[in-house]
């Protein structure tokens, strides 16, 4: 492979990382907003949040990407830059998965903690911010770590829309060299390295957050793979 082709691959890595960071941030925001909304006391808020989760978890991420690229522009009269369209589709889809993690972790906090907050006449917002979230967030890190790897794998989907990410650069190199085994092996290795770095840094973050609430991290992170779908099923 020539250095010019490697440059293409590096550009692809950069696009993939940009997309990963942006859609990761959006997905985190969506997860927390929707996940917390699912514990709201008004049924309509809970219903809307649950509806959002069902709809976005029900469709395929690739179908969502097609929808954002092709249906949104004529329907609403605005066209998104590919990077933002990809971010929007991935962030909304994976945010729906993340909201289940947030909801589960909030529900797993000892009920006595919430009751203690009520007894001390904290407002619902104070209870959430000062009591529930600090204890729930460290528990969310292992499943979020799995979800982040799923998101990284999901970023490859934008190459179908012609965005120049890592998977797309592989295609360019394949067309240039008329040979695919080498470049696809490299690309898979690069994805694997990024995934490895992500899980490592998430493990570090978990250790730090758990120390903050006086807990030791679990000895071995159970590699549960993809986040289970239906509630109570796993």
Structure tokens at 122: 């904290």
Tell me how far CA of residue 197 lies from CA of 12, 145, 152, 221, in angstroms: 18, 11, 12, 15
Of 137 and 173, which CB lies nearer to other proteins in the complex structure?
A: 173
Q: Does position 224 bind other proteins by CB under 8 A? A: yes
When the beta carbons of 212 and 228 are compared against other proteins, the nearer one is 228
Quick check: 78 binds other proteins (CB under 8 A)? no
Q: What span, in angstroms and rounded, lies between the C-alpha atoms of 228 and 13? A: 29
Out of 122, 184, 210, 215, point to the residue binding other proteins (CB under 8 A). Answer: 184
State the helix-helix crossing angle for 82-108 and 133-155, rounded to 10 degrees: 150
Tokens representing 176 are 């240039």
Stretch that binds other proteins, among 40-48, 56-64, 100-108, 213-221 (CB under 8 A): 56-64
Provide, rounded to whole angstroms, the least separation between the CB of residue 147 and other proteins: 12
Q: Calculate the CA 203 to chain-centre distance.
A: 16
Residues 6+ apart with CB under 8 A from 47: none
Site string for other proteins, 116-155 (x = CB under 8 A): ---------------------------------x--xxxx
**How many of the other CB atoms lie within 10 Å of CB of 55?**
12
Residue placing its CB nearer to other proteins in the complex, 51 or 126:
51
Binding span for other proteins by CB under 8 A among 21-29, 34-42, 49-57, 132-140: 49-57
Q: Of the candidates 42, 44, 75, 119, which one interacts with other proteins according to CB under 8 A? A: 75
Closest distance of CB 156 from other proteins, Å:
4
How many residues are present in the chain?
234
**What sections of the chain are H helices per DSSP?**
3-37, 43-58, 61-66, 72-76, 82-108, 111-119, 124-126, 133-155, 166-177, 181-212
208 binds other proteins (CB under 8 A): no
CB-based contacts of 110, cutoff 8 Å, min separation 6: none
d(CA 15, CA 164): 7
Nearest-approach distance from CB 60 to other proteins, in angstroms: 4
Q: Nearer Cβ to other proteins, position 131 or 149?
A: 149
Q: Under the criterion CB under 8 A, does residue 160 sit at the interface with other proteins?
A: yes
Binding site for other proteins (CB under 8 A): 54-55, 57-64, 66-67, 70-71, 74-76, 149, 152-157, 159-160, 167, 170-171, 174, 179-181, 184-185, 187-188, 191-192, 195-196, 223-226, 228-230, 233-234
């Amino acid at each position: 492979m020539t250095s010019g082709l490697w440059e293409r691959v590096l550009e692809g890595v950069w696009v993939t990382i940009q997309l990963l960071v942006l859609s990761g941030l959006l997905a985190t925001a969506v997860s927390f907003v929707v996940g917390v909304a699912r514990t709201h006391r008004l049924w309509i808020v809970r219903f809307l949040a649950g509806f959002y989760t069902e709809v976005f978890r029900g469709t395929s991420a690739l179908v969502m990407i097609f929808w954002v690229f092709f249906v949104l522009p004529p329907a609403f009269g605005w066209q998104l830059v590919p990077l933002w369209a990809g971010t929007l589709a991935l962030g909304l889809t994976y945010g729906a998965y993340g909201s289940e993690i947030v909801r589960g972790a909030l529900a797993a906090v000892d009920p006595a903690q919430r009751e203690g907050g009520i007894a001390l006449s904290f407002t619902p917002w104070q209870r959430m911010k000062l009591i529930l979230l600090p204890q729930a967030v460290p528990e969310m890190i292992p499943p979020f770590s799995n979800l982040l790897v799923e998101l990284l794998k999901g970023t490859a989907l934008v190459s179908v829309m012609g965005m120049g990410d890592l998977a797309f650069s592989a295609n360019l190199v394949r067309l240039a060299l008329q040979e695919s085994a080498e470049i696809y092996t490299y690309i898979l290795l690069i994805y694997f390295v990024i995934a490895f770095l992500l899980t490592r840094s998430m493990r570090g973050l978990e250790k730090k957050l758990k120390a903050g609430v006086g807990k030791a991290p679990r000895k071995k992170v159970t590699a549960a793979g993809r986040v289970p779908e239906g509630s109570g099923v796993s």
